[in-house]
Amino acid sequence: MKRSFFSLTLFALGAFAFGAGAFAADKPKIPDTPVGTEVAFVQAVQKDLNSRFATPAQAQSAGYFRYNNEDKTGAISYANLQWNSADPQHPSQLWYDVNGRLLGADYSIPLTAANSSAPPSIWGVNPQRWFKVSRAHVHYILRNPDGSLKYGLAVRGADFTAAGGDFNDPQPQTLVKLGKVSNPALVSKIFTYPAQWNLELWVLPNPKGAFADTNPNVTPSKSAGGESM
């Protein structure tokens, strides 16, 4: 998520991909509240996603899986690796709080040479709402000795490919080469987060607006923002 990329920048990915300056340049010069045709879009998404994905269990049944720690806004992200959101009913990510309450969603459109100069203009949403993730990176989840999972781990795309890794088929062995893990069997899951246009919105009602970075209706836990990079 855009909000959690700030912590990823600080711990692992560097200004190489997600510098805070880039976010400032990308920030829409429009209200965080829906405007015009965006109102119907947000209302439809909130009704639909709350009916189908009210709990993490429902998300997991539909193919989503957790991959990060709670970020500074109180959100924990679940992805389904379907990075081309064909319609508003198919977000690429869902966010939940530590109590399993649905908070919001991400939509993705793969970044290509053909669309890199202009954000998507779809679903009645102002194109300025979309922000660009310019470079791919690789996330992975580790299994601890007690069987629990360690989230919030990532490798810069340039480092991964330099070690012989393949974005189209990322393998744990590349993490061994990079010194991230000692045994590939410890890797529970590894996947590429591709370059993309990304749109975020709060499904949980937000007095600041559905497109705001934070939501006063969410109280992050004391451990929020602690990405383990």
Read off the DSSP letter of residue 134. Answer: -
What is the reported pLDDT for 3? Answer: 54
* Per-residue model confidence as pLDDT tens digits over 69-93: 999 999 999 999 999 999 999 999 9
Q: What is the pTM of this model?
A: 0.88
Domain ranges of the chain: 1-130+196-215, 137-193
CA–CA separation, 29 vs 104, rounded Å? 22
What is the reported pLDDT for 227? Answer: 52
Read off the DSSP letter of residue 164. Answer: T
What is the reported pLDDT for 225? Answer: 86
CA–CA separation, 200 vs 130, rounded Å? 8
* Per-residue model confidence as pLDDT tens digits over 24-44: 344 547 999 999 999 999 999
Q: Identify which of 180, 193, 161, 197 has the alpha carbon closest to the alpha carbon of residue 68.
A: 193
Sign of CA dihedral 229, 139, 198, 26: positive
In the sheet that 102-110 helps form, which strands lie side by side, from edge to edge? 65-66, 76-79, 93-96, 102-110, 196-202, 131-133
Residues of the chain with pLDDT under 50: 1, 6-26, 28, 228-229
What is the reported pLDDT for 23? Answer: 38
What is the reported pLDDT for 80? Answer: 98
What is the reported pLDDT for 54? Answer: 98
What is the reported pLDDT for 4? Answer: 52
